[in-house]
Amino acid sequence: MAQILAPSSQWQMRIARNSAPASPMTAKMWSSLVLKQNKKGTAKSSAKFRVFAVKSENGTINRMEDLLNLDLTPYTDSFIAEYIWIGGSGIDLRSKSRTISKPIEHPSELPKWNYDGSSTGQAPGEDSEVILYPQAIFKDPFRGGNNILVMCDTYTPQGEPIPTNKRHRAAEIFSNKKVVDEVPWFGIEQEYTLLQTNVKWPLGWPVGGYPGPQGPYYCAAGADKSFGRDISDAHYKACLYAGVNVSGTNGEVMPGQWEYQVGPSVGIDAGDHIWISRYILERITEQAGVVLSLDPKPIEGDWNGAGCHTNYSTKTMREEGGYEVIKKAILNLSLRHKEHISAYGEGNERRLTGKHETASIDTFSWGVANRGCSIRVGRETEKQGKGYLEDRRPASNMDPYVVTGPTG
Ligand code: ADP
Ligand code: MN
Ligand code: MN
Ligand code: MN
C-alpha cells in the first residue's frame, strides 16, 4: 500500500510548455480551417494570427466546438487558471478564470486574487473584497492542455481566514508533527442525486410520480434501472485526468443516486480532492443539463438518503495491534457524538432516521459489518486485527475540511 502514501500528483505537476503532445483531435479539428500564424520573430503580445473559415463538405463548421477544443500551447506560453472557492452557504462552489503567463510548479507561485464577497454572502458591500489564496492545483479536464483548476481558501484583506474558510484550521492540524507522523488516511464515499432540471425531480423518475420500490437499482445496469451513468462515468474520467484520487464509483439504492469514492488521501488532500471533485461534478452536470443535489434526503419516505461515509485510519491502526487503537478511537468518537453530528452537514436529521442503512441521529452505536450503526468496522479489519473504521454519519453535503479536521 506504500504507493498510496506518495504525495498526490498535484504538488508535483510541472506545467511545462509544450509538455503535452499535440493531440490528433486538434489537428483534425483544424483541418478545415486555414490557420496562419507567425510565432517566431514576433513579440508575443503583438503576435497575429488569422483564421479563415472554409466551408466543410456539408457547408457547416462548428466553430464554437473548435475553439473550445483549441490547444493554446503552440501559440502562447500563457494558460488559464480557474480559481475555485467555497461561497457563503459553505456548500456552494464559485470560480473565476485568469491568465497566467509563466509555468509554475507549486500553488504558492500563483498570484493571490480577490472577489466580490458581497455577492457570495461573505462580506458587506462597503468592504467587499475577499482574498483568494491558491492552495492546491489540478489539471483542468474541461480546457485541457496546460490549463489548471486551483482550489483556493478565503481571507480578509488583513490576512484573517473568513468564517466559511474551514480549510485554514484543518491545514494547521494536518501540518502538526504528531498528526503528520500518524499519516492519517481518509477514504470518502460521496453520494449525490441527479435531478431533472425543470422539475427538480430525480433523473429517471416519472414526473409527478414514483418509480418502483428500491431493490433493483443498486449497482444495476439497464434503461429501467440505471439513470445518469454517462454523468457518473464522465465525472470519473475527468477526475482521474485532473489528478483527483477517485478510487471507484457505483450506482446507488435510490434510482438517480450515485456514489464515488475518493481516497485513501492523506491529511488535507482529502478535503481538497473532495471539493475539486464536487466542482468537476457541478461542471459536468451543468453541461448535461441536469441538476446536482447534495441534499442528505432529497426525497422523503421510503427512499435512501445521501451520505458521505468517511473511512479513517492512522498508521498505528494499520499496523499490528491496530484493532485496539481503532476501538479506542471509537470510544473517543462516542464521547463527542452530539458535537460531531452538528458538524456533519445540514439537514442530516432527515437522513439519520435509523432506517435505510443509517443509525438514529440520537444514539451512538458501532458494530462489525453492521450498516445500521454510526460506526462500522469491516470484517476484514476485525479478522486482520488492524485496518480502519467507517464513520457512516456524515451527510452528502458535509464539509470535508470539517469532518476530517477540527469539528469543535
Ligand atoms: P463501502 O463498503 O462502505 O461502500 P467503499 O468501497 O465505497 O466502502 O469505500 C471505502 C473507501 O475507504 C475507499 O475510498 C477506500 O479507498 C477507503 N479505504 C480503504 N482502506 C482505507 C484505510 N485503511 N483508511 C482509510 N480509508 C480507506
Ligand atoms: Mn460505498
Ligand atoms: Mn453508498
Ligand atoms: Mn460506506
pLDDT at 66 (0 to 100): 87
Nearest ligand 1 atom to alpha carbon 317:
23
Q: For residue 381, report the distance from its CA to the centre of ligand 4, in Å.
A: 14
pLDDT tens digits, residue range 141-158? 999 999 999 999 999 999
Task: Judge whether residue 252 has pLDDT over 60.
Answer: yes
Report the DSSP pairing between strands 79-86 and 148-155: parallel
pLDDT for the residue numbered 378? 97
Distance CA 188, CA 340 (A): 16
Does ligand 1 lie within 6 Å of residue 312's CB atom?
Answer: yes
- Ligand 1 lined by 256 (C-beta under 6 Å): no
Determine the pLDDT at residue 57: 56
- Ligand 1 contacts CB of residue 318 (under 6 A): yes
**Residues with Cβ–ion distance below 5 A, ligand 3:** 259
Please report the domains of the chain, with CATH numbers, ordered by start residue.
8-68 (no CATH), 79-165 (3.10.20.70), 177-404 (3.30.590.10)
pLDDT, tens digit (0-9, with 9 covering 90-100), for 35-83: 333 334 333 443 444 444 445 555 556 678 888 889 999 999 999 999 9
CA distance 133 to 111: 8
Ligand in closest contact with the CA of 191: 3
**For residue 12, pLDDT beyond 60:** no
Which-ligand-closest: CA of 186? 1
The secondary structure of the chain, three-state, reads CHHHHCCCHHHCCCCCCCCCCCCHHHHHHHHHEEEEECCCCCCHHHCCEEEEECCCCCCCCCHHHHHHCCCCCCCCCCEEEEEEEECCCCCCEEEEEEEECCCCCCHHHCCCEEEEHHHCCCCCHHHCEEEEEEEEEEECCCCCCCCEEEEEEEECCCCCECCCCCHHHHHHHHHCHHHHHCCCEEEEEEEEEEEECCCCCECCCCCCCCCCCCCCCCCCCCCCCCCCHHHHHHHHHHHHHHCCCEEEEEECCCCCEEEEEEEEEECHHHHHHHHHHHHHHHHHHHHHCEEEECCCCCCCCCCCCCEEEEEEECHHHHCCCHHHHHHHHHHHHHHCHHHHHHCCCCCHHHHCCCCCCCCCCCCCCEEECCCCCCEEECHHHHHHCCCCEEECCCECCCCHHHHHCCCC
- Give the pLDDT band (50/70/90) at residue 17: very low
The residue among 14 and 149 whose pLDDT is bigger is 149
Q: Which residue has the cell 457512516?
A: 392
C-alpha grid cell for residue 63?
Answer: 466553430
Question: pLDDT value at position 125?
Answer: 85
Q: Is the pLDDT of residue 258 over 60?
A: yes
Grid look-up 452505536 returns 365
Per-residue pLDDT at 116 exceeds 80: yes
Instruction: Give the predicted TM-score (pTM) of the model.
Output: 0.87
Single out the residue of 314, 348, 310 nearest to residue 189, CA to CA.
310
Q: How far apart are CA 167 and CA 406, in angstroms?
A: 10
pLDDT for 51: 47
Look at ligand 1, atom 26, and give the residue with the nearest C-alpha: 187
**Whose C-alpha lies nearest to ligand 1, atom 13?**
187
What is the 23 CA–ligand 4 centroid distance (Å)? 39
Q: With 70 as the cut, is the pLDDT of residue 8 above it?
A: no
- Please indicate whether residue 174, judged by its CB atom, sits closer than 6 Å to ligand 1: no
Categorise residue 294: left if φ over 0, alpha if ψ from -120 to 50, beta otherwise: alpha
As a whole number, mean pLDDT of residues 77-94 equals: 97
Rounded to an integer, the average pLDDT of 266-281 is: 98
Q: Measured from the CB, is residue 390 less than 6 Å from ligand 1?
A: yes
- pLDDT at 16 (0 to 100): 41
Q: What's the average model confidence in pLDDT over 167-192?
A: 97
Q: Is 313 in the pocket of ligand 1 (CB under 6 A)?
A: yes
Looking from the CA of residue 387, the nearest atom of ligand 1 is 23
- Which is nearest to 25 in space by CA: 144, 129, 136? 144
For residues 2 and 4, what is the distance between their CA atoms, to the nearest angstrom? 5
Q: Which of 103, 18, 27 is nearest to 69 (CA)?
A: 27
Supply the pLDDT for residue 55.
Answer: 52
User: What is residue 45's predicted lDDT score, i.e. its pLDDT?
Assistant: 41
Atom of ligand 1 nearest to the CA of 376: 3
Report the 10 Å Cβ neighbour count for 380.
Answer: 12
Average pLDDT, the chain: 88
Task: Give the model's pLDDT for residue 210.
Answer: 97
Asked whether residue 97 carries a pLDDT value surpassing 50, the answer given is yes
What is the band of 10 on the pLDDT scale with cuts at 50, 70, 90? Answer: very low
Q: Give the mean pLDDT of 13-33.
A: 38
Mean pLDDT within 23-43: 37
Q: What is the mean pLDDT of residues 168-184?
A: 97
